[in-house]
Structure formats: C-alpha cells, structure tokens
C-alpha cells in the first residue's frame, strides 16, 4: 500500500470518528434540553443515522416490511461497536435497545443512553441481573418495542455464538413477535481491537418475524435457537456453537 492510499484511509477513518463525535455531541444536547421522550428518541435516531450518512457509508437495509407495525422484539448478531448505532439509526425510532449494565459506570454515556430510551441489564451481579431482567419483562408486558444483541458481547473471530435468554423470556411473557436481524460488514469495518474504521458496505437484513402461536414460542430456549439459525442462514459467518461441539480428535 503506497503512502497516498494509506493517507486517504487514515483521513477517512478520522472523518468517520469526527462524524461519530458530532452525533454524540448533538445527542447530548438533545437529551439535556428536550423534555419529550418521544422527541428525544426521534432526534437521537436521526443523529445515529448521520454517523453513517456523513462519511458516505453504503448501508443497505433489506426486509423492512418484515417489521410488524405493532410492538415487537428485534434480536441481532453482534460483531462490532458499530452495531448499536447502526440499528438505532436505521430502525424506526420506537425501538429501545437493551445495553450491558457495565455502561452504567460511564456517566455521560449512561446518561445519554438512558435518556434516549435504552434499558440496561447487569451481567456479573446475580441480584442486579434479576432486577434488570424483571424490568425488561415489565417493559415487554407494557408493550415496548425492544432491541437486543443476545450474544451479549462480540469477538474478533467471525461467527455467531450462544444467545442469552433474556430477550426471548421477555418475548414469551410479553407475547411479542421476535424479529431476527442479520448485520453484515460491521466486523470488517471496525473489528474488535481496532481504532480506525475501514471503508466498506454494511447490510441490515430484517428477517420474517417469529410470532406468538408459532411452535417456537413453546419455550424461550427454542425461540432463541430458531432466531439464531435464521440469522446464520443469511450471514456469511460460521456457527460458533457447532465449532465448539466438534470433536478435537480421536478418542
């Protein structure tokens, strides 16, 4: 790679970060000054979309007509820090995303996320996890549309891992459809451990909803695996559970 190409890549990466910083600054002003919760969510959704529009990132959204018009739960694979802003910006503003509880330790980020409608779930403390799970189920029973990354975290290696049960317990108890979403390209653009994003296309495939009354709704575990397999069917990444179950050798 010659120095001109390298310089262009670095300049684009820095501009992408600048776009993110401007969106965060705008969102902080919004959550501080706008009293209406729905208005805040709409403006933060617009700002999240600008993170990708300003650097002219090609984002293709397919299957938007698969989203129910009523409240539902969306679940997506998790490959990068980009995934949250990406879905926030390109899904309807009514979706509130469930974030790992560790974000409560970062004051400004916690304030911004909470005021823009996000929920939090503790992963390390059992008592806190139980409390947060109850709140999420309560939100589902109240008819909120929620978004989850049920893997809980992401790895540098490609693949889809085990889905945690929280999203699916909330769906079963709230009798809300589950919409699987496949995100492609974010791992290439900003992989784990990288600082500068790389230019490339992003895809959001919204798959047909799994509705209450379907056989999968008999248990949260079956619902989770059905959603995971549907995402794997369109995502060009391996099944990490299948790989971990493979024998290591003779005997």
pLDDT tens digits for range 206-248: 999 999 988 888 888 999 999 999 999 999 999 998 855 544 4
The tally of CA atoms less than 13 A away on the side-chain side of residue 82 is 34
Domain map (residue ranges) of the chain? 57-245
Across residues 158-183, what is the average pLDDT?
90
The answer for residues whose C-beta is within 8 angstroms of residue 92's C-beta and 6 or more apart is: 45, 67, 145
| Confidence (pLDDT) at 112 | 85
| Confidence (pLDDT) at 244 | 57
Does the pTM surpass 0.85? The reply is yes
**Residue 126: which pLDDT band, with cuts at 50, 70 and 90?**
very low
Rounded CA-CA distance 204/208 in Å is 13
Q: Residue 110 gets which letter from DSSP?
A: H
Highest mean pLDDT among 14-23, 99-108, 119-128, 212-221: 14-23
Q: pLDDT digits over 40-96, tens only?
A: 999 999 999 999 999 999 999 999 999 998 889 999 999 999 999 999 999 999 998
Residue whose entry in the numeric block shows the structure tokens 């600048």: 18
**Facing residues of 59 across strands?**
202
Q: Report how many helices (DSSP H) and strands (DSSP E) the chain contains, helices first.
A: 9, 7
Span 57-245: which CATH code? Answer: 3.40.1130.10
Q: pLDDT digits over 84-109, tens only?
A: 999 999 999 999 888 876 666 777 77
């Amino acid at each position: 790679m010659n120095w001109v190409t390298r310089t262009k890549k670095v300049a684009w990466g820095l501009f992408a970060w600048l776009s993110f910083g401007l969106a965060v600054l705008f969102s902080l002003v919004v959550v501080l000054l706008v009293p209406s919760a729905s208005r805040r969510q709409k403006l933060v959704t617009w700002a999240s979309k600008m993170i990708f529009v300003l650097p002219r990132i090609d984002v293709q959204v397919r299957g938007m007509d698969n989203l129910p018009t009523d409240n539902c739960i969306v679940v997506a694979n998790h490959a990068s820090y980009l995934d949250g802003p990406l879905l926030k910006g390109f899904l309807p503003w009514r979706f509130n995303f469930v974030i790992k509880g560790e974000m409560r330790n970062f004051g400004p980020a916690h304030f911004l996320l909470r005021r823009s409608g996000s929920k939090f779930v503790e992963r390390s403390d059992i008592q806190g996890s139980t409390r947060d799970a109850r709140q999420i189920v309560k939100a589902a029973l109240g008819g909120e549309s929620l978004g989850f990354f049920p893997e809980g975290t992401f790895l540098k290696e490609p693949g889809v891992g085990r889905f945690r049960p929280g999203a699916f317990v909330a769906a079963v108890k709230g009798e809300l459809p589950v919409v699987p979403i496949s995100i492609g390209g974010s791992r290439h653009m900003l992989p784990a451990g990288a600082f500068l994003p790389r230019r490339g296309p992003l895809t959001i495939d919204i798959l047909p909803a799994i509705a209450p009354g379907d056989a999968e709704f008999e248990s949260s575990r079956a619902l989770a695996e059905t959603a995971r397999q549907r995402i794997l069917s369109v995502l060009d990444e391996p099944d990490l559970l299948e790989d971990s179950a493979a024998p290591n050798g003779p005997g």
